[in-house]
A and B are shown apart, each in its own frame.
Chain A
Amino acid sequence: GEDVEQSLFLSVREGDSSVINCTYTDSSSTYLYWYKQEPGAGLQLLTYIFSNMDMKQDQRLTVLLNKKDKHLSLRIADTQTGDSAIYFCAGEVGGFQKLVFGTGTRLLVSP
């Protein structure tokens, strides 16, 4: 089945850019997603990318997709302390059947 891997932890300073990486195994995923989870809270959809795109930009967020390497990244420009959270990538499996989530990357932004 689909396996989605992320690095566990990233620490940056306020104002820097953050890059969170994700690798996946199922090349048939049509959509790939990034979600943000703050402590004790739900999963907030940040952005998604269609599999025939290489890049998508949405304000401070840039998603890069390398289908050949099955690698997805989320870049957050001008990272703020409010961006501290866990970030999950998720790949679609079997069309609308389900999303498979990565392990999550804990982003810590220090002042």
Chain B
Amino acid sequence: EPEVTQTPSHQVTQMGQEVILRCVPISNHLYFYWYRQILGQKVEFLVSFYNNEISEKSEIFDDQFSVERPDGSNFTLKIRSTKLEDSAMYFCASRGWTEAFFGQGTRLTVV
């Protein structure tokens, strides 16, 4: 079965630091996404990315966040100046025509 790969699986960072979460989507997919899930809560949409640009973003995705597809295979989420409330599980997803597959997630802990 096709697989979306995320690294690292767990990252601990100090408040105010920048983090980069990495994802390798499925190779022939064109649509890429980031979601987050605060512990015990809903899975929330952050941003969608198509044709090398953001196609939609949520209210959560403010200037603190950015996404990039630097080399045609990796898809990254950068969080600048992390806050305690950024602690969550971050999921990358990629989609072909119908099925949207998610990675195993990166658990971000801001201390």
A residues contacting B by CB (< 8 A) are: 31, 33, 35, 41-45, 48, 50, 88, 90, 94, 96-104
Contacts and interface: CB of A to CB of B under 8 A. Distances in A.
B45 A100 contact: yes
A97 B48 CA distance: 6
A42 B45 CA distance: 15
Interface residues of B, number: 23
Contacts of A103: 42
26 contacts: A31-B98, A33-B100, A42-B91, A42-B105, A43-B43, A45-B99, A48-B98, A48-B99, A88-B43, A94-B56, A96-B31, A96-B48, A96-B50, A97-B55, A97-B56, A98-B33, A98-B45, A99-B33, A99-B45, A99-B100, A100-B45, A101-B35, A101-B42, A101-B43, A101-B44, A104-B43
A41 B104 contact: yes
Contacts, number: 51
Contacts of A42: 91, 102-105
Nearest to B96: A96
A54 B44 CA distance: 27
Interface of B: 31, 33, 35, 42-45, 48, 50, 55-56, 58, 91, 93, 95, 98-105
Given A45-B99, A96-B55, 16 more contacts: A35-B102, A42-B102, A42-B104, A43-B43, A44-B102, A45-B101, A45-B102, A48-B99, A88-B43, A90-B43, A97-B55, A98-B45, A99-B45, A101-B43, A104-B42, A104-B43
